[in-house]
């Protein structure tokens, strides 16, 4: 089982879009996938077709030790993966966790009970370096970083790399960068091309070959509560996330 935190402290860079569509694409390739929504906004929950206000339990109860992951997870029919939902309740966990023992390792402990049930566990992180994100970075083996190739992207990235180093030193020595993913890419944009080239220079093989283009179908799909694969399979967005899933699986096989 590989646990991957999909994270970037910046909002609107494609974390949730990547989480939901990678979950659906890996499932379509016959991998067993669990997606955890770690953001109180519940966008990954809604984007998977689950009404965040209609669920009885969320990741909140899991983090506070009131329920197990197995009790809270749901089956996403169109997408064929399992989901642990989130909604505004989760914002409360941030405060309540502060006074709880082993507050950084709550998620890691909870995931121990499903270790044999999945090939991939994807953690859709909130846009902050909150205690919930620290829980994700402590539970994960690796970090997948979606980013837009724009002017401040590299600066934001160096902050994130610092955070990863800190977590590695203090909480999770095995944490590594799974890969950097260029999202909402527009090939006609000169700046995007430049930033993209710099990214490859600095991070080499860590940058996925697969690039996610800006694609209207990807933006529409959440409003239907569908991964793009079930909204418009032939769209550039759907094909890009399938290609990413294939690239991830191949990389994993190569690295043993």
Q: How many residues does the chain have?
A: 256
Helix (H, G, I), strand (E, B) or coil at 110: helix
Nearer to ligand ADP, 103 or 236 (CB): 236
Taking the least distance from each CB to ligand ADP, the nearer of 188 and 254 is 188
Q: Which does 183 bind (CB under 5 to 8 A by kind): ligand ADP, Mg ion, none?
A: ligand ADP
Q: Which of ligand ADP, Mg ion, none interacts with 92 (beta carbon under 5 to 8 A by kind)?
A: none
In the complex, the smallest distance separating the C-beta of residue 218 from ligand ADP, rounded to whole angstroms, is 4
Question: What is the spatial distance between Cα 19 and Cα 97, in angstroms, rounded to a whole number?
Answer: 25
Cβ proximity to ligand ADP, 170 vs 187, nearer residue: 187
For the chain, count helices (H), then strands (E): 12, 7
With CB cut-offs between 5 and 8 Å by kind, which of ligand ADP, Mg ion, none does residue 14 bind?
A: ligand ADP
- List the structure tokens of 79: 């997408």
* Residue 30 · residue 77 · CB < 8 Å: no
**Nearer of residues 114 and 126 to ligand ADP, judged by Cβ:** 126
Buried b (16+ CB within 10 A) or exposed e, 206-224: ebbebbbbbbeebeebbee
Q: Does 73 bind Mg ion (CB under 5 A)?
A: no
CB nearer to ligand ADP: pick between 138 and 235: 235
Q: Least distance to Mg ion from the beta carbon of 124, Å?
A: 6
Angle between helices 131-139 and 89-97 (to 10 degrees): 80
Beta strand 120-124 pairing with 2-6: parallel
- Confirm or reject binding of residue 15 to Mg ion (CB under 5 A): yes
CA distances from 220 to 8, 47, 58, 235, 237 (A): 22, 10, 25, 12, 11
Question: Residues binding Mg ion: what is the number (CB under 5 A)?
Answer: 3
We find the least distance from the C-beta atom of residue 208 to Mg ion, in angstroms, to be 19
Scanning 1-9, 37-45, 49-57, 237-245 for contacts with Mg ion by CB under 5 A, the matching segment is 37-45
Q: Is 16 in the site for Mg ion (CB under 5 A)?
A: yes
Give contact residues for ligand ADP (rule: CB under 6 A).
11-17, 43, 127, 183-184, 212, 214-215, 218-219, 222, 237
CB 135 within 8 A of CB 63: yes
Distance in Å, CB of 140 to ligand ADP, minimum: 17
Contact positions vs Mg ion (CB under 5 A): 15-16, 43
């Amino acid at each position: 089982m590989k646990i991957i935190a999909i994270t970037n402290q910046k909002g609107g860079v494609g974390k949730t879009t990547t989480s939901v569509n990678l979950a659906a694409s890996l499932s379509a390739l016959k991998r067993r996938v669990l997606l955890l929504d770690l953001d109180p906004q519940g966008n990954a929950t809604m984007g998977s077709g689950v009404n965040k206000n209609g669920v009885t339990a969320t990741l909140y109860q899991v983090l506070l030790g009131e329920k197990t992951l197995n009790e809270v997870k749901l089956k996403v029919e169109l997408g064929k993966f399992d989901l642990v939902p989130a909604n505004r309740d989760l914002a409360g966990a941030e405060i309540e966790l502060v006074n709880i023992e082993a507050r950084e390792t709550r998620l890691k402990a909870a995931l121990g009970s499903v270790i044999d049930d999945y090939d991939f566990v994807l953690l859709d992180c909130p846009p902050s370096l909150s205690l919930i994100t620290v829980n994700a970075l402590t539970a994960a083996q690796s970090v997948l970083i979606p980013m837009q190739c724009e002017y401040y992207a590299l600066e934001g990235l160096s902050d994130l790399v610092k955070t990863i180093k800190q977590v590695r030193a203090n909480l999770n020595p095995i944490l590594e960068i799974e890969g950097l993913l260029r999202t909402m890419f527009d090939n006609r944009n000169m700046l995007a091309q430049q930033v993209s080239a710099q990214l490859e220079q600095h991070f080499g093989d860590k940058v996925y070959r697969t690039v996610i283009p800006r694609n209207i179908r990807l933006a529409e799909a959440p409003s239907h509560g569908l991964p793009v694969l079930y909204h418009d399979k032939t769209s550039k967005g759907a094909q890009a996330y399938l290609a990413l899933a294939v690239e991830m699986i191949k990389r994993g096989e190569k690295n043993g």
